[in-house]
Chains A and B, each alone.
Chain A
Amino acid sequence: MGADGTQRRAGGHTAVSNVSTTDETAVTPYAVLPEVPRLADRLVDQLAFPHRDRYAEMVEAFRSGGYETCADLCAVDYLTHPGRTLPDGVQAERFEVVVNLLSLSQRQRVRIRVQVPEADPVVASLVDIYPGVDAMEREAFDMVGIIFEGHPDLTRILMPEDWEGHPLRKDFGVGRVPVQFKEAPGPR
């Protein structure tokens, strides 16, 4: 029996095909903090480059503008590729945090890329805005070593707790460190 007391059918039901596309809270992506530099992109509806001080503010603005879910968050180490294309007014730094937001009601994606300097790899955590980034931020911390300020449980998620270094950094060697077993003395 279902929660409403009726015998439930074997197969759920088939959906209406469309998510409503007219949402009153909907904003066009360019209306969100228009002074933040943008780049045109073939594949994504919006590509924004806020300074890291305004990063959380911008994500918050998208959240209230109808971007219900954060699809992805990852970090990139640009150590050996500093000359990438960036809009005017954006200072290239070693790390980048890349956030993909998704609006179900407007069927749009935005991508936000934040420059994070090597000397102080700290950005605000989005956990209070999108709880689902919890694991993704832990992964970015574990793999690239970005510190997310305000994250409730910023611990390693994929690597062992006592691992040293952040494997996806470009200066972390590959193929030289032997497989480490717990309790066995490693070469670190």
Chain B
Amino acid sequence: MSDDEFPEEDLELEGQEHLAAEEATLYAETSEGAQELLPRQEVGDVDLRRETGAVLRLPEGNYINPDDIDIERRDDETMIINMGPQHPSTHGVLRLMLELDGETVLRTKPIIGYLHTGMEKTAEELTYVQGSTNVTRMDYLSPLSNELVFSLATEALLGVEMPPRATWIRMLMVELNRVSSHLMWMATNGMDLGSTSMMIYGFREREMVLSFFEKTAGLRMNLNYIRPGGVAADLPDGWQDDIEVICDTIMARTFEYDELLTGQPIFRERTEAVGSLTAEEALALSITGPILRSTGVPWDLRRTMPYLAYDEIDFDVIVGTYGDNFDRYSVRLNEIRESIKMIRQIAEKMPAGDYRIQDRKVTPPPRARIDESMEALIHHFKIFTEGFRVPEGEAYVAIESPRGELGCYLVSDGTSKPYRMHIRGPSFVNLQVLPVLLRGGLMADAVAVISSVDPVMGEVDR
């Protein structure tokens, strides 16, 4: 086209005005305010440096070269897109805003809160007896870890000693839960990477563990099995046989996963050297769990700060080397094997005795006693209406959940309801690693990286 036919300047001006107006309308319609990833020109240099990756905020000596951050990149070369909250690969309702240059991810901002149900506020309205029903719904893939940390914190404030059988039953159940949680992760990670057969296998094996939970506690998920004062019920008759079948089957199947995934060239191409993380970055960002261990830091609370009776059984802490997707995969796969090793030892060493403490002020009396004893009836009534009083004080208890350090900070004012309950969710903290892992990678790898972080949105948003 020639200049005569189309006066170029006018057209350009008109077009720009039109575009600007359209952009403003679009922005007003879709913006939820400052939570979002801002366009480049609205972000100052310092903020951009911070935003471009949390690496930039590491303590002295770890600063990235500012020339590497594309600060001079013109805004019209990049594009901010929205991923989620209903994206199938975000494992729930995680929403990411990604700034892309072509297919390369430059900046990322996770936006959370879509599953916030105010569980910490709810906990202040429930008694300690009811509390474990609430916390079990946080990390819905490892509900027993939530119940355990809440119970341990409550018992720390009460100052009661658990009977050994209760401790060992708790350990057994939590390790089984770790197996089922990691299997679920392997399944969804396989699906994200295109291996739908892994998805089916992972769910199939997980079902074995959940069936055992159903047999023991009556429910497959959200069990409310571990409670302050012990566990809800003793293990069912013949539990050793069930455990043996579960252990043998899943152990054998993990070697099938090796054949299906570990040695498969496509899987390795998509995981090796994708989303690498260093140990310094992980520690600075408070990352815990398999992600921290994949960077080579042998930090596992079961070993380094033992709780329950983990110091009495033999297991290895699995670590990786490069902190990439493949290391995170292999750490989790081998943790399944370690957990099975532990479950076998626990089944062997399971002591006899009570499965909950016999303090009638904390745990209800057996059903049969209520018919015979007025006192038992009163205790039963008091526990389920008023709950038990917990001495004034505060406690922070941390355990190793399948995702990392799961902490419970409990403040008691001497009544039967927690004054404040704060849960340190490992997924919530671990999500901060996403901008670091995704930066400079390809959009197609984003799905694999999100999956390898293993966020459970129920725990992130609580």
Contacts and interface: CB of A to CB of B under 8 A. Distances in A.
Contact of A15 (B283, B287, B317, B431): B317
Given A1-B272, A16-B298, A100-B396, A132 B286 contact: yes
Interface string A138-173: 010001000000001101111111100001100000
Does more than half of chain A's interface fall in helix, strand or loop, or is it mixed?
loop
A166 B52 CA distance: 29
B32 A160 contact: yes
A34 interface: no
Interface residues of A, number: 61
A71 B407 contact: yes
Interface string A69-103: 11110101100110011000000000000101000
A52 interface: no
A17 interface: yes
A132 B317 contact: no
Given A14-B316, A17-B303, A85-B392, A161 B34 contact: yes
Contacts, number: 177
Interface size class of B (residues with CB under 8 A): 35 or more
Contacts of B285: 131-132
A44 B305 CA distance: 12
B384 to A, nearest CB: 21
Given A11-B333, A11-B334, A167-B118, A158 B113 contact: yes
A134 interface: yes
Given A63-B59, A85-B392, A107-B304, A159 B409 contact: no
Interface in A24-53: 42-44
Given A17-B303, A134-B54, A160 B113 contact: yes
Contacts of B293: 15
B413 A74 contact: no
Contacts of B337: 11
B203 interface: no
B319 A12 contact: yes
Nearest to A133: B286
A8 interface: yes
A12 B273 contact: no
Interface stretch (B17-25, B91-99, B229-237, B324-332): B324-332
Contacts of B331: 12
Contacts of A42: 156
Does more than half of chain B's interface fall in helix, strand or loop, or is it mixed?
mixed
Contact of A12 (B116, B263, B294, B303): B294
Nearest to A16: B298
A157 B110 CA distance: 10
Contacts of B50: 152-153
Contact of B392 (A1, A84, A130, A155): A84
Contacts of A118: none
Contacts of B57: 127-128, 131, 134
Contacts of B330: 10-12
A155 B47 CA distance: 14
Contacts of B413: 80-81, 84
B397 A104 contact: no
A127 to B, nearest CB: 6
Contacts of A19: 297-299, 304
A136 interface: yes
Interface stretch (B171-179, B191-199, B421-429): B421-429
Interface in B70-125: 112-113, 116, 118, 120-122, 124-125
Interface string B258-278: 100011000000001100000
B395 interface: yes
Contacts of A72: 396, 407, 409, 422, 424
B337 to A, nearest CB: 8
B445 interface: no
Interface string B111-144: 0110010101110110000000000000000000
Interface in A5-23: 8, 10-19
A136 B396 contact: no
Given A12-B318, A69-B283, A158 B272 contact: no
Contact of B396 (A43, A68, A107, A129): A43
B310 interface: no
Interface in B383-418: 392-398, 405, 407, 409, 411, 413
B226 to A, nearest CB: 19
A98 B121 contact: no
A178 interface: no
B263 to A, nearest CB: 7
Nearest to A111: B396
B32 A132 contact: no
A109 B407 CA distance: 12
A78 to B, nearest CB: 8
Interface of B: 32-35, 46-47, 50-51, 54, 57-59, 112-113, 116, 118, 120-122, 124-125, 156, 258, 262-263, 272-273, 283-288, 293-294, 297-299, 303-305, 316-322, 326-327, 330-331, 333-334, 337, 392-398, 405, 407, 409, 411, 413, 419-420, 422, 424, 428-429, 431-432, 461-462
9 contacts: A19-B304, A85-B393, A98-B396, A131-B58, A134-B54, A135-B429, A135-B432, A136-B429, A161-B33
